[in-house]
Amino acid sequence: MVDKLVRSDAEWRQALTAEQYQVCRRKGTEGPFSGKYNDCKDQGIYRCACCGHPLFSADAKFDSGTGWPSFTAPLSDESVQSRSDASAGMLRTEVACRRCDAHLGHVFDDGPAPTGQRYCMNSISLDLDRQNDPRTGTS
């Protein structure tokens, strides 16, 4: 079970950049091919940019050609949560940080094996931790 991090809207505005706030707290989307992690091939763990919670392993990252960093699966069941999103005139599945509820992106059923999932994330919602890998214990 993940301990929830709860902050007021004013606290989030102060802690985040204007762009991070728009995407992570207001459910915005960065432009395709504009994020720093779209073409990133570095190893490590992708963490929530709002609270540092571990979300995705670089091992699960793949080039979807969509313009956003994409992953086949989250790091664990405790990493993210999904919820229905009927905005933008279509039904999608939103992906949020399980710890702080930050909007990360959406998941689609058109990814590669083994999961068939494409977790399409906003780079601005992520921080790549190149040093600490909780799967291997290395730092």
Catalytic residue numbers?
120
The total number of structural domains that make up the chain? 1
- What's the one-letter identity of residue 91? L
Q: What span, in angstroms and rounded, lies between the C-alpha atoms of 49 and 20?
A: 8
pLDDT tens, position by position, 47-83: 999 999 999 999 999 999 999 999 999 999 999 999 9
Residue 136 lies in a domain: no
Check which CATH number belongs to the domain holding 57 and give it.
Answer: 2.170.150.20
Q: CA dihedral defined by 5, 79, 126, 90, rounded to 10 degrees?
A: -100
Residue 9 lies in a domain: no
Residue 119 lies in a domain: yes
pLDDT tens, position by position, 85-96: 888 788 899 999
DSSP alpha helices (H): ranges in 1-139? 9-15, 18-20
| SS3 of the chain: helix, strand, coil, percent, to 5 | 15, 30, 55
Residue 45 lies in a domain: yes
Domain that holds residue 71: 30-129
